[in-house]
Amino acid sequence: MEKKSYIIPIFGAIIGFIGGCFFTFILVFITLFSGAIHYIPLIIALAAVLYIGFVLHSFDFFTRKKVAKVFWTFALGVLGVTAMQPIFHWFDNRIPTVDAEVNIYQYEPFVKGNQVEKLPQVASLQLQEPLPKIDGATALYPLYAAFVQAVYPEKMYNPYSSEVMVNQTPDAYANLLEGKVDMIFAAGPSEQQIQRAQAKGMELKLTPIGKEAFVFFVNAKNNINNLTLEQIKDIYAGEITNWSQVGGKKDAIRAFQRPQDSGSQTALQRLMGDKPIVEAPSENIATGMGGIINEVSKYKNYKNAIGYTFRYYSNEMVRSKEIKLLEIDGVAPTKETIRANTYPITSDFYIVTTGDENTHVQAFIDWILSEEGQRLVEQAGYVPVTEYE
């Protein structure tokens, strides 16, 4: 009986190893680049199983049924284990992410059919060029878009490339400090933003124009409707970690946070005072060639989650009926409780300037603080900072 030559199988195994490594590397790189890192163990395991199976087949090991059975049992076990993370990720993605962002384009000034609030009469102030350059937080864009439509000349104001922009709070502050805009509409600055201004020899001037409530929300099916201020602080300090500790079901608390320097994260830091904040839930995100970084997770509406925002945002979010706002110390966050200062976490929001602005800025601020401006604050769904008849 002629002895079988193993030269071709050995050569095939070498070529298969080189080719398999190359294509596995390409797939892993693409997976990293796309951010789907949870698939990497499964890709590597699948490549290894296919290669080992190919080699065993080439050397006729599968002619022995027992060897084939052991191999495929082991292979399926490995693939099953490595598939658990992608499966979990798929189920996890089915849990809705609660989006607190407003649709900014529906508030773009002077666009036909927009949802911008309008005064019943022509505003007493009508600005002309050079117009103050504005930026601000997304949560306040519906408000300052109404101001712009009332007193600015009618034309197109693209939200990202005009005198009237909208950004997230950190970007708005950065644009102000870099002199790209004259004024911003935002919550008060974080300590880091104050320090950046001081480093540039600037002083941030804050003019209160309205009041807002800092609110906490949970899954609509959570049986908790009220927390005390101290319980909120203890949750975000990591001292209360289970809903059963505050009268809820026995389930670990997922306390979501917002990115550093955002308006709501600054509000949380102020609320906590000297009490340290527990590390936020994070997710691994591939950022192009930069590799893997940890970022604060977006709020996912897990049954055991808690998050926070401002009341105006919450009005946009609660429409989905998937979350509910919590009462704090037995007080619900409403315009009435904000106005009466009975809701425990009420704060002002501001026009922020640096003192080196367009000559029309002060006239604009004065008008916003006038009865006309404050009425428009009310109409837009916010709480004015001053009372009027």
CA dihedral 37, 43, 45, 49 (to 10 degrees): 180
d(C-alpha 183, C-alpha 166), whole Å: 12
Q: Measure Cα distances from 50 to 6, 9, 12, 40, 57 in Å.
A: 20, 15, 13, 15, 10
CATH number corresponding to 173-389: 3.40.190.10
DSSP states along 115-126: -----SS--S--
Give the pTM: 0.68
Task: Give the number of other CB atoms < 10 A from CB of residue 321.
Answer: 8
Q: Name the residue among 195, 264, 194 with its Cα closest to residue 236.
A: 264
Q: Name the residue among 102, 96, 137 with its Cα closest to residue 315.
A: 102
Q: Name the residue among 355, 349, 310, 370 with its Cα closest to residue 183.
A: 355
Blockwise average pLDDT, block size 10, the chain, 389 residues: 66 83 85 77 87 82 80 87 78 58 82 91 93 91 94 94 90 93 92 92 93 88 93 94 93 83 80 86 46 48 81 64 88 91 90 83 94 92 80
Interval 346-377: pLDDT, tens: 888 999 999 766 779 999 999 999 999 999 99
Q: Determine contact, residues 259/265, Cβ cutoff 8 Å.
A: yes
pLDDT value of position 290: 36
**Amino acid symbol at 353:** T
Q: Which two tokens stand for residue 85?
A: 């993370």
- Using the 8-state DSSP alphabet, how is residue 19 labeled? H
d(C-alpha 304, C-alpha 307), whole Å: 10
pLDDT value of position 146: 95
